[in-house]
A and B are shown apart, each in its own frame.
Chain A
Amino acid sequence: MSEHLQTGIEFARAGKGLSDETLRKIDEAIARYPSKQSALLPALWLAQKEQGFCSLEAQAQVADKIGVSPAFVAGVVSFYTMYHTKPVGRHVVDICTTVSCWLRGADELVQHVEDRLGIKVGETTRDGRITLRTVECLGSCGTAPMCQIDDDYHENLTFDAADRVLDGLR
């Protein structure tokens, strides 16, 4: 084992690491591919599912499993918008603001949601309930404006419909 991997493991031990269950699922993901490294994105998804974000500790453990350096993993994590590098709220609200949604009032929707939640884009409510973000095209242009909350799309949003969805988040 190379030196940087050892460092990564030590780093992982210092903080909150991934559960044995998640590590086992990462091994399963690795087994599915002809090449170990192809399991990097799936492994990061599993890490984020457990911790809510990709902590440095988790990244180091993933690096060890995949056989790359923690720095390489960090480079991959930072490339993709869906991996969080810091803790986020219990729910992440991503409002699409790209052209078709913009034409159908996405800017006004963002303003309304900011007012409703009392936070700005990029912030998390004080109770840790909701992180609000704006994102680029989610491929739901025919049902604009829309947002993604965690795994689900909410389409054809009016202010009222958005309020109902937001109020239902615990």
Chain B
Amino acid sequence: MAALTEKVLTRNIGLDDQHDIDAAVGRGAYSRLATALKLAPEAIVEEVKKSGLRGRGGAGFPTGLKWTFMPKETTKPRYLVVNADESEPGTFKDRMLMERDPHMCLEGMIISAYAMKASLIFIYIRGEFVLGWKRLDQAIAAARAKGYLGRNILGSGYDVDIILHRGAGAYICGEETALMESLEGKRGYPRLKPPFPATFGVYGNPTTINNVETLACVSFIVERGADWFAGIGREKNTGPKLYCLSGHVARPGVYETETGIPFRTLFEEHAGGLLDRKRTLKAVIPGGSSAPVMTAAECDDLPMDFDSLAAKGSMLGSAGVMIMDDSVCMVRALARVLKFYAHESCGQCTPCRIGSDWIYRIVKRIEDGGGTPGDLETLFSVCDGMVGKTICVFADAAALPARSFVNKFRHEFTDHISMKGCPMTRTARV
């Protein structure tokens, strides 16, 4: 298991002309597509399985295994849906890839579609990403004109095209079944599973949904082999990984390292440590705001990978690493986190519709000085009524962080209640 010694996904990110197809091709774009089209689709699936690649969108599900769920024999069209609805607070890696290197994104999608024998690719990009949408739109037209997309790609006999679909502002549409509903022209309500998308996806046809970064990795697995990919990172947590650092950090941004880099190395060596050196690190949300919060002590030398974070009761999620120094009031921070979920609950399931708003109001009331001794008990009781009791995991994504903030910083909540307000002075807190 080795560290990443070069940039892979981000190596052309800093160049100003990389979105231009001629410039991108000059730097190797679509050469991996040519390689892939000479292989049998099943061989690519096998290679991706062997690489250990896990989904970069949040769940960390093994990508190759997911692909094998697609039916082997079917008369229906098969679809690849690209989840470019990057909306998890703290996450901004896919936006960068699409804006700065759209052809690398497309190449991975086309190779993956070929591996799954898909006849059509849908890219669902969030409505706010106008630049990314324009860049992808231009890139798709350019790729089509050059024969990397469309009929008989590079003389291989394989046909596939891309429909670029723009969302219109709804966090829940990042949930794969809500995304499919939205793609079908409806409100983004998650579907009950089963049936899973591989058997009943878009228009009821076999569908696989993958994240932008996940698909970008596939090109390089084809180019360099599964062993190369599997040799980077840690066991079962392999390959290059994009980490998004934000909050109270000296150099916020996207960092590409091996999966499972220790938190301290990522935070101190790559991102320059705390924004204000006189302060101390207080808390870290390691995987987007749906990931339970961790104390500074818990993070320290912890490998930032799927399994290590899960073992600590949190998750790598979309690798949106949010840094909080000791100026932050954790009650106020939780109120800010929960306001997001109260706003974004789609309203389909009662425990989530009522619960996400309820827990927000409880925490806001505690922060504002109106908390009562029974409030934390009520908060936990509402959380219990949410976790695992809804169609999708949105309710869990609101309730689990709520529990973690209270469990790990309980004295701040009880102090707020007993002192009828925030003990931190106006100037000391954010």
Contacts and interface: CB of A to CB of B under 8 A. Distances in A.
B271 to A, nearest CB: 10
Contact of A100 (B168, B246, B346): B246
Interface string A66-94: 10100000011001111100000000000
Interface string B153-189: 0000000000101111111000000000011111110
B65 interface: no
Contacts of B203: 34-35
A151 interface: yes
Given A41-B166, A136-B343, A141-B252, A103 B95 contact: no
Interface residues of A, number: 44
A34 B245 contact: no
A144 B168 CA distance: 22
A150 to B, nearest CB: 8
B430 A141 contact: no
A73 B271 CA distance: 46
A122 interface: no
A139 B91 contact: yes
Contacts of B91: 139, 141
Given A38-B165, A99-B285, A139 B184 contact: no
A137 interface: yes
B89 A141 contact: yes
Q: Which of A39, A98, A103 has most B Cβ within 10 Å? A: A103
Contacts of B247: 99-100, 103-104, 141
A58 B187 CA distance: 18
B168 A141 contact: no
Interface string B117-152: 000100000111111000000000000000000000
Contacts of B184: 35, 37-38
Contacts of A107: 430
B58 interface: no
Contacts of A153: 131
Contacts of B94: 139
A21 B351 CA distance: 45
A65 to B, nearest CB: 11
B80 to A, nearest CB: 14
B168 A41 contact: yes
A170 interface: no
Contact of A80 (B167, B253, B324, B430): B167
A141 B247 CA distance: 8
Interface string A55-66: 000000000001
Interface string B296-340: 000000000000000000000000101110001000010011001
Contacts of A35: 184-185, 203
Nearest to B132: A139
Given A138-B128, A141-B244, A41 B322 contact: no
Nearest to A82: B169
A139 B170 CA distance: 13
Given A34-B203, A82-B127, A137-B340, A142 B92 contact: yes
B246 A144 contact: yes
Nearest to A37: B185
A141 B289 CA distance: 12
Contacts of A44: 168
B414 interface: no
28 contacts: A34-B203, A38-B165, A39-B185, A40-B186, A41-B165, A44-B168, A45-B168, A76-B187, A81-B170, A82-B127, A99-B336, A100-B247, A103-B246, A104-B246, A136-B89, A136-B340, A136-B343, A138-B128, A139-B87, A139-B126, A141-B92, A141-B244, A141-B247, A141-B252, A142-B246, A142-B252, A144-B246, A151-B131
Interface of B: 77, 86-92, 94-95, 120, 126-131, 163, 165-171, 182-188, 203, 244-248, 252-254, 285, 289, 320, 322-324, 328, 333, 336-337, 340, 343-344, 346, 430
Interface of A: 32-35, 37-42, 44-45, 66, 68, 75-76, 79-83, 97-100, 102-105, 107, 135-144, 148, 151-153
- Ranked nearest first, the 6 interchain pairs of A and B with the lowest CB-CB distance are A40-B185, A80-B168, A81-B169, A82-B169, A141-B246, A37-B185
Given A100-B89, A139-B87, 13 more contacts: A41-B167, A82-B128, A97-B336, A99-B333, A103-B247, A103-B323, A137-B88, A137-B340, A139-B86, A139-B95, A141-B322, A142-B254, A143-B252
